[in-house]
Amino acid sequence: MIDCKRLKRFFNEKAEEYLRYFEHFSLKNLFKVAARYHFKHLKMKRFGYILTAHKIKRSFNRAAGTYDHSCQVQTAAGEHLIQLLHQHPLSIRECAIDLGCGTGIVTEKLARSISFLEFHAIDIADQLLIKAKPRLIPHGVSVYPMDFDQLSLDKKSFDLIFSNMALHWSKDFSFLLHTLHAYLSPSGILAFSIPLTGTFTELQHYAALNAFHASQEVTATLEKMGYTLCAHHQEKKIISFDHPLAALQSIKKTGANCVHERKKAGLQGKSLLKQLAVTQLTYVIGYFLAMPCAVKT
């Protein structure tokens, strides 16, 4: 007879080690293992979170070899966010951090454009960080693996928290913004870009998609979590492709093909390609700059 309470306590303590051990398992087999040990009968919220993080990490790690040649949209968004940041009067960031730095292309551009004493760059995907380190370490950037949904930093105050096309992967976006608020210095700034509602609209009838936030939802959440908005706007980019397969591969090659939760069954593989008649993809990108409410701009 299995002691479920003891098993649950053990699993919560060892969840990350457990998943690293089963890194080579498919998610289907992970669920089978979980069910075998009665996890399906337990309210395992942490198990669900860890599995989601595992999916995201695995998806981006698999794209490590193709990311740099396929991230034109992400790079352009990052460059625009840096330009928007420089319009803000505070130009010196003594301590900065980039959440979801990927292979470091945009992070390097940011590090070259601001003054800082400390600069941290984190990402959940360790294979992307292998590519990021040669770019960033020569600029004095500390690079290490970390999930921004599970921030645990010795540094407690940042003048700049930057993130380009990453925060939408959070399991709990509102709680993440709340956490980041606590890490901002009184005059610090949170600068981020994320894809918004309307992104990949061409695929909505063919495949399961992540639910993107609306711009009004993001601004309302920022205000609720104690921020003052300094600037925000959105832009639409339409990228054309020669054939549907190229459109789908452009997503996969940047690791963005991971779906948080499949609320509906989407077509996959050959079934998808047979019905898909899409030769362009829409990106609706939101840019947001915010500060703690005590600071007036």
Report the candidate in 105, 104, 130 with the shortest Cα–Cα distance to residue 120: 104
Give the domains, in start order, of the chain with CATH numbers.
4-62 (no CATH), 67-292 (3.40.50.150)
Q: For the segment 79-132, what is each residue's pLDDT rounded down to a tens digit?
A: 999 999 998 866 567 899 999 999 999 999 999 999 899 999 999 999 999 999
Give the span between the Cα atoms of 17 and 23, in whole angstroms. 10
Lowest mean pLDDT among 195-204, 238-247, 266-275: 266-275
Percentage, residues of the chain above pLDDT 70: 73
Higher per-residue confidence, 293 vs 84 = 84
Q: Are 97 and 121 in contact (CB under 8 A)?
A: yes
Handedness of CA 110, 256, 240, 246 (dihedral sign): positive
Q: Are 118 and 142 in contact (CB under 8 A)?
A: yes
Which pLDDT band holds residue 266 (cuts at 50, 70, 90)? very low
The pLDDT value given to residue 207: 64
- Per the prediction, the chain carries an average pLDDT of 83
Report the candidate in 170, 161, 153 with the shortest Cα–Cα distance to residue 53: 170
